[in-house]
Structure 1
Amino acid sequence: MAFNDDEKPPTSNTGSTKGLVKIKPAKYFKDAAALTADTVTAEVEINATSSTTVREGLDLVAVLDVSGSMTKDGKIESVKKAMLFVIMKLTPVDRLSIVTFSDGATRLSPLRTMTPDAQNDLKALVNSLGANGGNNIQAGLETGLAVLADRVNTKARTANIFLMSDGHQTSGDARQVDPGQVAIYTFGFGRDTDHQLMSDIATKSPGGTFSTVPDGSKVSLPLSQLLAGLLTVVAQDVHLTITPKTEEGDVDTVVVAPSAEYTQATNATTGVITIKFGALFAGEGRRVVMTLTLKDVSAFSEEYDAPLAEVQHSFTAQGRPRDLQVQQDIQIKRTPFPSQAPGVSSKVPAEIARRQHAEAIRQARLLAEVGQLEDARYKLVDAQKALENNALDGGQRLVNSLRAELQQLIRLMDSEETYKAQGRPYALASETCHGRQRYAARGGDEEDVRLFATPRMDAYSEQAKSFEKDPTGPAASAADEDVKQD
């Protein structure tokens, strides 16, 4: 199938790309290294600007489940209201296409530049949606991806899909669909959803997340959160390069901890490690943890600053060529006195604790999947104790969110029925959130876990709540009005 986008949107908000993404000096999880062979764990953090005045244009395809099961519990009406919120937020810089699927898939509209006329047309289209038939998620995804693949105008634009479904696929296999470079954000409605499938689809795509939407809840709330991010993409194709100082420095090897958020590759000749992140929303950050094995330099007897590696980041923005940033050094003070603490010091940063926390959730879910609910709860209780025993330096908000996440999961693993209906989707949403270092909704209208939520997401959450009460009110002002308020 081929879909041409004939409408060329106006240029997105333009301006200087300087300072859109910055890198912080490396932090160490050990105060000093011995002069003998030793290892040091370091963290490098990059952050996107919190300003939303310069952003990429959004090309969004909403792939909507209109199978017969969507008529239950008012789900199709909830989806309609959520899509109206989306339409009202988009500006002429953005484009939207709507695809529906049941037994097959239909592209209801091409990518439309969101002029007032287009908004009115798409509102009428959304209001006319009905639901019947089976559930062919594969057909819906393939149609949505075809819309994006056939774009003519792609400069300074991001390609994304919102996929919403409430059931199990009755034909096709959506896991076989290749997302390419398109981020797919999936939303699973209610207890009958194939949550594992929806999570797999999201995590197979670059940067996508899975959010769970309980029965009877307001879809516009979780949908608004990801929309807030997509309307503030300030940088794409973000790279971080780490050049070990193996010849002139004190490092033997550098090993970067794996993460679902980035891909990494090491040049066999130079040893340079390249990490690729994808796109960053305004206010987002990414943390990379690495272990550096140091050389034995016990012949030296004086304290000195040892170079270990150089780091440099780059990105594209506003369709301009890759912007290489100034290199920064990773170095550490070496001393003739051995390290006082074995392994990790008492000043363990929040990032290490958060990753351990996320791994405990994954392990607990795997135990629950084979019916070992008691062992799963014990795993979470142990993680809770570890959290309380660590002095985290990430702020009280992080501690409160991690604690709330564990407490909720323990409750949702109380029985097999509760786990399948609520615990599994909650755990999967938590895993995708931690793995991506990006917000994902875990369900409920008053959610108490907002890890990685950006300021714009917080604002849209409140606006969506107001919109649910009164869709004709001023809550869903266009995104450019939000920029002025920022």
Structure 2
Amino acid sequence: MSPVLESDIEVITATIPFNDDEKPPTSDAGSTKGLVSIKPVKYFKEDAALVADTVTAEVEINAASSATSREGLDLVVVLDISESMEEDDRIGKMKKAMHFVIMKLTPVDRLSICAFSNVAARYSPLFSVTPAGQNNLMALVDNFAAGGGTNIEGGLICALAVISNRVHTKGRTANIFLMSDGQESTGNARQVDLGDVPVYTFGFGKDTDHQLLSDIAKKSPGGTFSSVPDGTNLSLPFSQLLGGLLTIIAQDVKLTITPKTDDGDVDTIVVAPGTDYTQTTDADTGVITIKFGTLFAGEGRRVIINLDLKDSAADSEYDAALAEAQHSYTVQGKLQNQTPQDIQILRTPNPTEAPGTSIKARHLQAELARRQHAEAIGQARVLADAKELDDARYKLTDAQNSLDDIMLNDGQKLVSALRAELLQLLKLMETQDLYEATGRAYALAAEASHGRQRYAYRGSDDTDDIRLFSTPRMDTYRKQAHDFEKDSTAPLPSADEDVKQETAANPLASIAAELAVYLQNAIQALQAIEKIVSTST
């Protein structure tokens, strides 16, 4: 790749058909078996009544922990180079963070850089990040100078034009990083149609329009908003999202819930609030489809459903088939439909009134509490925005007290993280000025993280106590980013080297997902044999 000169820069005033993305090397996808699995369904209560009743259940899908198989990354970074980026050397911190990003990418990954001030421009097409390309990209970034206004809309249009006009798309995942430190002075970014492209936004400093950046991320599938307070090094929040994007092992992840209405037990099925992903219900069949987009290695998605049951004609207990849960995903463009999971419950004349006491039931109770916790944060933010700070703090304190009721001996880490999150937000709501400077952004990032069940950086709270939804690779990159900020000249492992280190530390991780599939098939075969034998005797 040759250096991109100032005269080569294309100013984006409309969607330009670039069609000049560099063809990347073919990546070895490896085995696609079991990369995303579904867990046995959990229930709030162990049984249901014969009369009309409600069943609360949780369906959970998980991505394999190993990223030896991953999709090639097409990353478009949209950088704010407006005049305000000179403050607190934000532009210098941005350049250093971009060096970290560029150094972590491999030839199978492609990077394009757009930047905006009064207008937006594409500074480089999607290039494979070879060693030579890394040097050129870093030199390009180092030449940025701050000046002008803030045209976030133009930056988004630029990035989307790069992605929509790609020629090489098979087995590749397109994503956008968008960072800004100011308020829009030109355009309206909310009106931009993001399509199906995840946009991860970063609000840099107290003068950022955090609400706008949060709205953009929420509008995109799977995107999150991260708060980057003044004085923060940008390498750390960038590294955390990069740690996810470089471990995308599945795209187009979907979960379908199919009610078994013919069996006569189910009246209605509703997905409980708190899972912030696209959801549709077929009017004829009642089938619910939830689209999760991509999954990072080590991530999971938990869906809570409430099933209203009809009066039963039976007078004795029986196992009631309620629904079927099935997930699917694509790897290297190939669709993978997985084995369905039954949703069923014992219906009995003498149902248990209390919540279940099994480990699965307690985990479901904790998940319900986490969702109530996230809802309380959103309510507190709305109150604080209305300058009703005392009421906002009362809402958070009440949420803290509710955590005392969770009995989860083997999940105390979750409760501790939720409690620490509330404590941090309470501190950021001590005064209205403090809230508006950092508290609002913190709350918005927390809401994004909980709603998407995906890690989002929130600034000073990034401690071991509050790393909700972080993945093993993110934890690794967190340490690397800290070391990089201390000495940016020290060698930095590439993503390929990270995989080698992970495999060396856990040799079975790369085959664990495939082994799990074969084990599940064996169990199902044994169960079928057992059923045949029992019916023939």
TM-score (normalizing by structure 2): 0.88
Partners of 2:368 and 2:273 in 1: how far apart? Answer: 13
Tell me whether 1:452 sits opposite 2:465 in the alignment. Answer: no
Shift of 1:174: 0.9
**Percent of aligned positions with the same letter in both sequences?**
67
Deviation sequence 1:32-83 (CA, Å, 0-9, x none) = 1111111010000000000100000000011000011101101111101100
Q: Distance in 2 between matches of 1:249 and 1:112?
A: 57
Post-superposition shift, 1:401? 1.2
1:114 matches 2:98: no
Gaps of 5+ in 2: 1-15, 503-537
The answer to whether structure 1 residue 243 and structure 2 residue 261 are counterparts is no
Q: Does 1:467 align with 2:480?
A: no
The amino acid across from 1:312 in the alignment is Q
Verify the 8 A CA contact 1:101 1:137 in the aligned structure 2.
Answer: yes
* Pairing of 1:211-230 with structure 2 (within 5 A): 211-230=226-245
In structure 1, what residue type is equivalent to 2:348?
T
| Equivalent residue, structure 2, for 1:317 | 331
CA RMSD, Structure 1 to Structure 2 (Å): 1.7
1:232 to 231, 247, 252: 247
Instruction: Report the Cα distance in structure 2 between the residues aligned to 1:35 and 1:485, rounded to whole angstroms.
Output: 55
SS state at 2:263 partner: coil
Map of 2:314 onto structure 1 = 300
State the secondary structure of the residue aligned to 1:247.
helix
Residues 244, 272 of structure 1: 8 Å contact kept: yes
Distance 1:278 1:100 in 2: 26
Contact kept, 8 Å, 1:218 with 1:445, in 2: the verdict is no
Give the drift of 1:263: 1.6
**Residue equivalent to 2:184:** 169
- How many Å separate the matches in 2 of 1:121 and 1:39? 61
Q: Equivalent residue of 1:349, what SS? A: helix
Amino acid at match of 2:217: A
SS at match of 2:244: helix
Q: Relative to 1, partners in 2 of residues 1:197 and 1:226: Cα closer, same or farther, differing over 3 Å?
A: same
Q: Paired residues, what number?
A: 483
CA distance in 2, matches of 1:47, 1:266: 23
Q: CA deviation at 1:270?
A: 1.6
**1:96 partner SS:** strand
Alignment check: 8 A CA contact 1:74 1:216 kept: no
Alpha-carbon shift at residue 343 of structure 1 (Å): 11
Cα 1:182–1:103 shift into 2, 3 Å: same
Aligned residue among 332, 342, 357 for 1:329: 342
CA distance in 2, matches of 1:102, 1:266: 42
Give the aligned residue type for 1:433.
S
Distance verdict in 2 for CA 1:454–1:378, change over 3 Å: same
For the pair 1:54 / 2:69, whether they are aligned, the reply is: yes
Instruction: Give, in angstroms, the shift of residue 6 of structure 1.
Output: 3.8
Q: Which amino acid aligns with 2:56?
A: T
Q: 1:344 & 1:363 partners in 2: Cα distance?
A: 31
Tell me, in whole angstroms, the C-alpha distance in 2 between the residues paired with 1:375 and 1:151.
Answer: 50
Alignment-mate amino acid for residue 446 of structure 2: S
One-letter amino acid of the counterpart of residue 64, structure 1: L
Report deviation, 1:445: 7.7
After superposition, residues 76-225 of structure 1 pair within 5 angstroms as: 76-225=91-240
Give, as a single letter, the amino acid of the residue that structure 1 aligns with 2:378. R
SS at match of 1:334: strand
Q: Work out whether residues 261 and 277 of structure 1, in 8 Å CA contact, stay in contact via their aligned partners in 2.
A: no
> How far does residue 317 in structure 1 lie from its aligned partner after superposition?
0.6
Matched-pair contact (CA < 8 Å) for 1:212–1:426: yes
**Amino acid across the alignment from 1:180:** G
Counterpart of 1:88 in 2: which secondary structure? helix
Q: Which moved more, 1:251-260 or 1:78-87?
A: 251-260
Deviation, structure 1 residue 460: 0.3
3-state DSSP class of the match of 2:404?
helix
Distance apart, 1:328 and its partner CA:
1.7
Letter matched to residue 277 of structure 1: F
Q: Could you list the runs of 4 or more consecutive aligned residues of structure 1 that deviate by over 6 angstroms after TM superposition?
A: 342-346
Deviations 1:65-113 (A, max 9, x none): 0011101101111101100000000001100011111011111111111
Q: Is the 8 A contact 1:237 1:316 kept in 2?
A: yes
Q: Could you say what secondary structure the match of 2:17 adopts?
A: coil
Paired letter, 2:280: A
Q: Tell me the residue number matched to 2:367.
A: 351
What residue ranges of structure 1 are gaps of 5+ in the alignment?
Answer: none
SS in 1 for 2:262: coil
**How many angstroms does 1:339 deviate by?**
3.1
SS in 1 for 2:125: coil
Among 354, 372, 388, the alignment partner of 2:404 is 388
Instruction: Note closer, same or farther for the CA distance 1:294–1:198 as it changes in structure 2 (3 Å cut).
Output: same
Which residue in the other structure is 1:273 paired with? 288
| Corresponding residue number in structure 2 for 1:418 | 434
Greater share of residues in helix: 2
1:221–1:445 CA contact under 8 A, matched in 2: no
Moved more, 140-149 or 300-309: 300-309
Equivalent position of 2:519 in the other structure: none
Please state how far the C-alpha of 1:301 moved relative to its aligned partner. Answer: 3.5
Aligned AA for 1:83? M
